Structures are given as structure tokens and as C-alpha cells.
Chain A
Amino acid sequence: MPTARKTSAAPPAQKKTATKSPGKKAAAAFPGEPADRLRDYYRQMQLIRRFEERSAEMYQRAKIGGYCHLNLGEEATVVGLMDAMTSRDYLFTTYREHGYAIARGIEPSRVMAELFGRTTGVSKGWGGSMHLFDVDARLLGGYGIVGGQIPPATGAALAIAYRGPGGPETEAVACQVGDATTNIGAWHESLNLAAIWKLPIVYVVINNRLGMGTPVEKAAGEPDLYKRGCAYRIPGVRVDGNDVVACREAMTEALRLAREERQPSILEATSWRLRGHSVVDPAKYRTKEEARRLHDLDPVAAYRKQLLDSGVADAAELAAIDSDVEARVNAAVEFADNSPHPSPDQLFAHAYATPVANAPAELPGEPLISEIRRDRSVAV
């Protein structure tokens, strides 16, 4: 692990610059928010939006294999949450995590390269879409098993607590899960551990109302998911996941609780998955009316309108951002496509962290036994 880097709350790729003073309308719509920051949120949301749309396209063109889950519809949630985290905080997340990686400051090209399975990918082509990892960005994994990240995230918080008392400059852990994950045993066991050990962790529940196709109300005995820590005296709040500033504020407070008071908490962000569970899911379980309504709940379009209406940005400024984003996503695709595939001779490169005697490293069809390697006739 790298030592903690003491920097501002913003990941490197989204440095905040001096702001011009917003107009009165902006002040009313976004009290106290610098215009440049608001525009930067738009840039990040649009970057995630276009990255994910291009990912779907690349999946359909078979450039991306396996499963591919998109953050479409969750852009405001992702950007708001990630802006509240500092570079010293750790993030454990799910298999729907491309946007989190980008908002954490990882170059989109390295994320796209991972989706393409190339050596330049964040996980060197070993993980794919569901398993993004970047030790420097302290993104400690996308996890493909639903809820598999919860106990390790809780243990990361235990390691922080093991090393010293809390305070405003200390590290904290964000453990992001989906709504359906609050029904698994690992969730409840981990919440209990975090409560009795007073761990610096925020359990972030992205409630997009659907498991794959099962509604929250049919899966959870307590469908108000922010209340699901009650049995462990873990407080929770619910925030509108389409409100980027509200997400940031709620996450900032949850992280403060974790850092300074060593109080674990639940932050539920309500959100809408604009498309199916994964790229290949046509979402037939949704009615036409629901699909139409989702269109109106598109957080990127809504935020764009808010910026224009409040005068924070004009159409030309947003068009310039769109154009920059487009270039960046195009460059990411190009970078991924031009990057090398891992070589088969690297198959055992990351087998064990500590090499030990007799660790097997044979390809299918190769003899395990050195005698046969010396003289293949021994085997016949």
C-alpha cells in the first residue's frame, strides 16, 4: 500500500480552479457552490455518461467480453460521492464501477483498456469490467460477487482503527453496495462487526429500486434501506441520488462521522438505472410508462438544464465540455484498442506474492513432473 497522500478532496484529474462568481439565479439553485465546481461536475457526469455509452457500443462490437454493467443513470450519485472522498480514503465497490474508477481520478483510457482486457488496463487485463483495481487511487476493487467486498472493506477499516485513533486527517473506507446486497449475510455480519469495533466506514447503498429485475419491496423486509443498520445501532440517511451536491454533502458528513467519531453509518442514495442490469439485458420487466418516466429522470440531462436555467453555464460552454469529453472518450477507446493483449507467457506472473517451492506453473497438456519434462518417453 502507498503511504497516505495529503491532498485536497478532489482527485487529480478534476482540479478545482479559481471561480468566477455565479449569478443570483445560480446562488438560488446552488447556494454557496462555485460555478467552476458545478461545471466540473457536469464534465465528470458527461464523461461517465459517454464512457458508458461507448462501453455498450464496444461490447456490442465484441471488443469487451464477459459481463458489462453500466453506471448509466447513476452519474450524479457517483460524482457527488466521489467528490466527498479524499485521496487517502479507500473505496471498495461492486461490479458496476466504471464511473467510480473515473470519478476517483483514474484515466478513462486505463479503464477502457481493462474492459478490453489489455496490459495497460488498471488490473493489467486480469480483472475486466467487474474487477477494476488501482492501488494508487486507493480503489481497492470492483468485486464481481454480490456483497463480496463488504467484509474486506470492513477489515480495511479495522486496519485503519488498528493503526491509530480517529481524527479529521485520518483515513476512512467507503464500501459501496447495491440495494439487493442489503439482504445477504455478509452485509449483516459486517455491519455488526463495524458497530462493535467502531470502525471508520461508510456503507453506501445505491438504491436503483431493482436487483436484476426484482423490486426492492419484494426483496427487503425493510425496504427503507437506510434503516437496515437499526439492529446494530448504525445510523443511516437517505439522499436523492440525482442531486450531485446533496450526495456530496451527505457523503462528507458520513465520512466525517467515520473519521472523527469512528461511527460507521449507512448512506442510501436513491437512483434510477436507465437501462438493463447489464449490457445484454433488454429490461423487459419494465413497463412502457416506466421507461418513459426514466427518460425524464435522466440526471445528466436534468443537471444540464439546471446549469443552463440558473446561468451557471451557457450552451456554448457546455458544448465545449461535451466536445472535450467526446475527444477524451474517443482517445480512451483508441488507447485501449491499440494496447497489447497480455502474452500467454505471463499466465503465472501474479500467481503468488511469495514464491514457494513446487508451485505448479504448467499449461494444459504439459507434464507436471520434471522427469517427464526431461524425457517424455517416461510417460508412455
Chain B
Amino acid sequence: MAIITYRQALHDTLRSELLRDPDVFLLGEEIGVFEGSYKITAGLLTEFGPERVRDTPIAEEGFVGAAIGAAMLGLRPVVEIMTINFSILAMDQIVNHAAKIHTMFGGQSKVPMVIRTPGGGGQQLAATHSQNLEVWYAHVPGLKVVVPATPADAKGLLAASIRDDDPVMFIEHLALYNTKGEVPDGDYVTEIGKAAVMKEGSDITIVSYSRMAAVALDVAKRLEEDEGISAEVVDLRSLRPLDRETILASVRKTNKAVVLEEDWLSYGVGAEIAATIQEGAFDYLDAPVRRVAAAEIPLPYSKPLELAALPDATALVKVIHETLDATRFHG
């Protein structure tokens, strides 16, 4: 067990998968000579050469589609799209092709590919470069969508995604790259489709994923120390498939739930979670399920405006208190 960054965990896993399987190769914009916009692929071109760490022109539809075809012939391409905002340019290939080919052709062809791409706001990158579009992909059967929050899951879920025979959207977060955590040594694979209980608790459930799961964990620890509130934190880890049973088991125990998500509120991940909870734990609920999400506006550049638009610990604490108050909870 070593303490490393989320970025290092991704880098090391790419490297070990390249070493493990000659069919694995990387492609994307500026991943080779430039070593990646966020330096996830630093050093890999030198070690593995330009065939296996392949720089592409700026042509998202072209190179994502090329990865699909290479995967159909049995290779395991790992595509880096510089940010999730640019994945929209490849939407036809991801949604109409990667997600469909296995099913639509009667199971005759697999598409074992991974699309790695960071999402999220908070870097003053303004409206077109700060989006959380994971729910667009999570809506589509045929795709798998994983959203690791910790360095350990970055490693375990990336290894699982590369070894999986289906197309996986592997969604990273710009603000997580420098976060540190314990990562198991050696070959470490995390099952796709299972949520994690990051912290156990008995008073309220916080459901979250990606960077917001890290925020939720901090808030839960603080509430426990400062106010004696025992919050349980469920990190979804995978948006498709969604581990409904883990969410429900937690809510049946705590009887209250808040969702913390960085995407926009309407039709967002939280809507699916809230629907799941009312369907599967209606009688257990002591209060309405609340959602803390991004303000419904294209994200502004100005720092005060950006901060106002994004969900944060303060907003989560407020909604947790409101939910507890609604049940006349006294910690």
C-alpha cells in the first residue's frame, strides 16, 4: 500500500496494462510527445513507442471511431479525450456505434475500448470547458460509465475497464488529479457496477460520486467530529450499471438521504438516485430526498460566480441540517 496521487494511479495503471497485454494501446491528442494535457501519459511514449502511445490529430469523431474499429478486430484501445466537453464531437461514434455494435449485430462483435476523459468545473475554464456530462452517457444502454473518486478506484476501475470487453466511459475529474490516497500494490482490479460505502453512519445517507464524493466524505467526517452526526457516504463509482441495492441498504438504515452531484440538477444523476430511493425505500423515508447540484446555468469564468454556481461543502451541510431538522433529529 502506497500513498500516491490520482494522477499517478492512472499513469501507473496505464503503464502496467501496456506491459501486461500487447493488444492494449493508447491514442489521443497530445498524449505522446506532449505527455498529455494533464500529464497522465508522461514517459509512456519513450517507454512504449509511437505505435502503442499514438498521438492523434484533433479529430475526436475520427479517432474515437478508429478505436471502435480497432477494438472490433480484437485490440484494446484506451482513448484519451482531452476533456469531456470535447467528447460531444465524438457523440455519434460513442452513442450510435460503440454502444450499439455488440447488441445490434447479435453479439458477434465485442468493442473492448476505454474512453478516458476528465470532466468537472472549478478551474475557471468557463462555460464550454467545465461541464459534467456523465449523465448523457449513463443514459445509454451498451455503455458502461465509471466515475472514480479516489486514487485506489482510479487504479482498480481503470484496470477493470481496460480488461472489460465492452466500451467504458472512464470519467476522471480535473480537481482530483492531485488528490492523494492509499493505493493497493500489485495487480488490483475493482469490480465495475458496485458502489462503495466510503464511511459508515446511521443518521443520514449522502450519495455521491467523483470529486463530490470526496467533498461528501470530508463533510461527513466533520459533522461527526463537530456535531455528532453520523453520516454514511455512498460513492457510486459506476453510473451505469448503477448499484441500487447498496444505496437502498444504506437508506433503509438511515431513513434519510441527500445526493451531492456536480452535474446540473434537472434530469441529473440525483434524479435517478431519488427515484430509486422512493421506489425501493419509500416506507423507510423520514424526509424527502434532497439534491445538492450545480446551478442551472452555463458555468461562468468569474471566480465568485463560478463558486456560486458549483455545489460545495457549505451547501451540503445546509441541506443535511434541513433534512435532519425536518425529522426533528437531535444528534
Query: Interface on A for B, CB 8 Å cutoff?
Result: 1, 90, 92, 121-127, 131, 133-135, 140-141, 143, 145, 148, 150-160, 162, 185-186, 189-190, 192-193, 196, 349-354, 356-360, 367-372, 378-379
23 contacts between A and B (CB under 8 A): A90-B73, A123-B108, A125-B106, A133-B109, A140-B72, A141-B101, A148-B92, A151-B61, A151-B69, A152-B68, A154-B66, A155-B77, A156-B70, A156-B73, A160-B73, A162-B70, A192-B57, A193-B62, A352-B142, A356-B241, A367-B279, A369-B279, A378-B282
Cβ contact within 8 Å between A186 and B92:
yes
Pairwise interchain contact B280-A1, C-beta atoms closer than 8 A: no
Q: Which of B190-198, B210-218, B254-262 contacts A (4 or more CB under 8 A)?
A: B190-198
Interface: B164 (CB within 8 A): yes
Choose the segment among B1-9, B243-251, B292-300, B321-329 that binds chain A (4+ C-beta atoms closer than 8 Å). B243-251
Cβ A357 vs Cβ B107 within 8 A? no
Q: How far does the Cβ of B196 sit from chain A's closest Cβ, in whole Å?
A: 12
Are B62 and A189 neighbours in the complex by a CB distance under 8 Å? yes
Query: Which A residues touch B242, using CB under 8 A?
Result: 358, 360
CA distance A125 to B93 in the complex (A): 23
In the assembled complex, the Cα of A2 lies from the Cα of B191 at a distance in Å of 29
What band does the interface of chain B fall in when counting residues whose beta carbon is under 8 Å from A?
A: 35 or more
Are A190's CB and B62's CB within 8 A? yes
Q: Is there an interface contact between B69 and A124, defined as CB atoms closer than 8 Å?
A: no
B165 contact set on A, CB distance < 8 A: 352-354
A359 near B241: Cβ-Cβ < 8 Å? yes
- Hey, which chain B residues are within 8 Å of A352, CB to CB? 102, 142, 144, 165-166
Chain A residue nearest to B59 (CB atoms) is: A189
In the bound complex, residues from chain B placing their C-beta under 8 Å from that of A1 are 72-74
Bound-state CA distance A103–B110 (Å) is: 25
Assembled-state Cα–Cα distance A190/B90 (Å): 13
Roughly how many angstroms separate A215 CA and B25 CA in the complex, as a whole number?
42
- Contact A353 to B166, CB < 8 A, known contacts A151-B65, A186-B65, A196-B57: yes
| B124 beta carbon closer than 8 Å to chain A | no
Residues of A within 8 A of B106 (CB): 121-127, 133, 350
With A350-B102, A358-B241 already in contact, the answer to whether A193 and B69 are too (CB < 8 A) is no
Most chain B beta-carbon neighbours within 10 Å: one of A92, A143, A189, A378: A189
Contacts A349-B107, A350-B103 given: A155-B96 contact, CB under 8 Å? no
With contacts A152-B97, A162-B75 known, is A353 near B107, CB below 8 A? Answer: yes
Interface pair B69/A369, CB less than 8 Å apart: no
Q: Which of B105, B191, B248 contacts A123 (CB 8 A)?
A: B105
Chain B, Cβ-Cβ closest to A153:
B69
Q: A155-B65, A162-B75 are in contact. List 12 more A-B contacts (CB 8 A).
A: A133-B105, A152-B65, A152-B101, A155-B68, A155-B72, A155-B77, A156-B69, A156-B70, A159-B72, A352-B142, A354-B166, A369-B248
